[in-house]
Structure 1
Amino acid sequence: MEFGKVQEDEILSVNFSLPNDGSITSKILEKSEENKKVKFYVGCGTWGQKSWTKHLYNKGTKTSDFLKMYLTQFNSIELNAMFYSLPDRDRVIGWKKLAIENSKSNFLFCPRLPQLISHVLKLEDVNEIFQNFVDVVSNFGDNLGASFLQLGIFGPERLHILQDFVETVPSGFKLFVEVRSPEWFSNEKVKEEYFSVLSRNNIGAVITDTSGRRDLIHMNLTIPECFIRFVGNGGKYVESDFRRIDDWVIRIQEWVNRGIEKVYFFVHEHGERNTPILANYVIQQFNALLEANLPELTFIEK
């Protein structure tokens, strides 16, 4: 994931501290049911890179087998492939079958809405296309997690269009939204209206932690669940990535104590080579401090 990438000589000057919770977070969590068992999902934004065959997948693993191998290691995936092309019903059923056969737990696919909806038509006249998306991903059944809508060139002047769209989301269909235009976060009134629209319609707000766009760490939970997209810098900055993850675990622990019900934490890295290493660290910390009880990844011994 290249979004938010900064030049290497700028990384050390980035303030990676997490801001305080947004104003709506306390209101949402105080309505949540306390002492409810929290569900944790950790995954990546792809089910494989060729570089992973050097430390996570067996050498010589075919790209066609990456999903099968991924399913044996993780319990969820940020399914970005659907952004580019919506598969047919049979393909989704095939993925679900692989998940049932190979996953150690109830694996969740978290599909990204197609670019035709978000980037081409920008949510206008998309009812039929969106319903087709819902129909297709519904074939995941119990293996369907939250879907997410990522909006790029889509500013606050289109809030009414976003509101019209989220009002069409079927009851029980879990959706999170990520907006990227800086104007959503530079004005407090606009920000408040945006999160209010999501909350009223039971829609989640994606939180993206990336070096070059610190405004996207808005810390507003509009439902008692979080969907975090963490983008590491990797390389010689991996220790910094670990410290950032530590901060996230502390914050999520606070949310757990206040009633959050589900945590999605998807790990990215520029180039994605060492994403599994970061993801495994997340799993280890979730297990140690949050009692997540997630299986750790199994790496190939060198």
Structure 2
Amino acid sequence: MRLHVGCAMWSLKSWQGRFLPHPRPSHERLRSYAGWCDAVEGNTTFYATPARDTVAGWAEQTDPAFRFVVKLPRVVTHERRLTGAEEELRAFLHAIEPLGPRAHALWIQLPGSFGPDDIPVLAGFLRRLPASHRYAVEVRHRAFFAEPRTTGHLEEALAAVDAEWIPFDTTAFFRSPPTSDAERDAWSKKPRMPLRTVALTDRPIVRYLGRDATDRTVEGWRPWVGIVADWLREGRSPTVFIHTPDNADAPALARRFHDEVRARVPELAALPRPTPVEPLTLF
């Protein structure tokens, strides 16, 4: 029984001296992050396919059970819209190969303009992907959530290849107006989709966005604690990513979420205790 938790990144300036040792070379920070969380979103691969040697370094810094949910490049998903990007896809798959079992799922995040009429394109794309990977799709067109017939068609396309549907829960974030610069920035950028809590596979993935205030973040994730606990009792192995607008406390919050689920499911193993970090000093 495993619940993996993580953040949107493995390094942030505000984490240095708190969650990550300082100073520490950038190519070693993932190792420190992996002492706090056992999963991470691979958002950087959306903007550029990394060098294979770089990915090999990621694998060297993490345990084989660590989970990367790695986003396909935007040239594949947003610019070519899953059509005619075979060369770019091959280069991406070659680059991430060193992750081995750590590549928990390849994340296909689609633009808001990718709607119900595009489901056949997605279905064909998924069928052509190599069976050696698991796949998870994030959609941002409201019809997929609001129209039951459209929801069903998308679920059928995903189920045909055992792919998961990733919900990005921003409902708690948008419950009240922003109160900080980070929240105001996220307010203008994050999607406002209806809440979805259905798992299609035995490895559901959830992205949750809270607020900069810890109490409001925790209040907003309460329903997910029960949902994830139920998934574990059903034999599923979920991965949950905790976001806040500034992400300043995200590693600690991810561990807190894991602790809250474990309080409901005592047989869930605790996360390893992270190595203490010396605080930053002026000298």
For the aligned pair, the TM-score class normalised by the smaller chain equals: 0.7 to 0.9
Quote how far apart the aligned CAs of 1:246 are.
3.0
Q: SS of 1:191's equivalent? A: helix
The correspondence for 2:271, drawn from 294, 297, 300, is 294
Structure 1 segment 125-204 matched on structure 2, within 5 A: 125-152=84-111, 153-204=113-164
* CA distance in structure 2 between the aligned counterparts of 1:91 and 1:80, rounded to whole angstroms: 15
* CA distance in structure 1 between the aligned counterparts of 2:46 and 2:81, rounded to whole angstroms: 13
* Contact residue 67 and residue 103 of structure 2 kept, 8 A: yes
* CA distance in structure 1 between the aligned counterparts of 2:144 and 2:105, rounded to whole angstroms: 23
**Cα 1:166/1:216, change in 2 over 3 Å:** farther
User: Match of 1:88?
Assistant: 51
Q: Which runs of 4+ in 1 moved over 4 A?
A: 296-302
* Contact residue 195 and residue 220 of structure 1 kept, 8 A: no
* CA distance in structure 2 between the aligned counterparts of 1:188 and 1:106, rounded to whole angstroms: 36
* CA distance in structure 2 between the aligned counterparts of 1:298 and 1:217, rounded to whole angstroms: 36
Q: SS of 1:272's equivalent? A: coil
Quote how far apart the aligned CAs of 1:60 are.
3.6
* Contact residue 202 and residue 223 of structure 1 kept, 8 A: yes
Q: Which has the higher contact order (CA 8 A, sep 6+)?
A: 1
User: Match of 1:209?
Assistant: 169
The correspondence for 1:107, drawn from 66, 69, 87, is 66
* CA distance in structure 1 between the aligned counterparts of 2:122 and 2:5, rounded to whole angstroms: 28
TM value normalised by structure 2: 0.83
The more displaced of 89-98 and 56-65 is: 56-65
* Contact residue 3 and residue 258 of structure 2 kept, 8 A: no
* Contact residue 262 and residue 270 of structure 2 kept, 8 A: yes
Alignment gaps of 5+ in structure 2: 175-190
- How many percent identity over aligned positions? 24
**Cα 1:279/1:64, change in 2 over 3 Å:** same
Between the two proteins, the alignment pairs up a number of residues equal to 258
The more displaced of 183-192 and 59-68 is: 59-68
Quote how far apart the aligned CAs of 1:216 are.
4.4
The correspondence for 1:267, drawn from 218, 242, 249, is 242
Quote how far apart the aligned CAs of 1:149 are.
0.9
* CA distance in structure 1 between the aligned counterparts of 2:232 and 2:192, rounded to whole angstroms: 23
* Contact residue 180 and residue 216 of structure 1 kept, 8 A: no
Q: SS of 1:181's equivalent? A: coil
User: Match of 1:230?
Assistant: 208
* Contact residue 118 and residue 149 of structure 1 kept, 8 A: yes
Quote how far apart the aligned CAs of 1:298 are.
5.2
Q: SS of 1:201's equivalent? A: coil
**Cα 1:116/1:192, change in 2 over 3 Å:** same
**Cα 1:253/1:72, change in 2 over 3 Å:** closer
* CA distance in structure 2 between the aligned counterparts of 1:276 and 1:140, rounded to whole angstroms: 22
User: Match of 1:283?
Assistant: 258
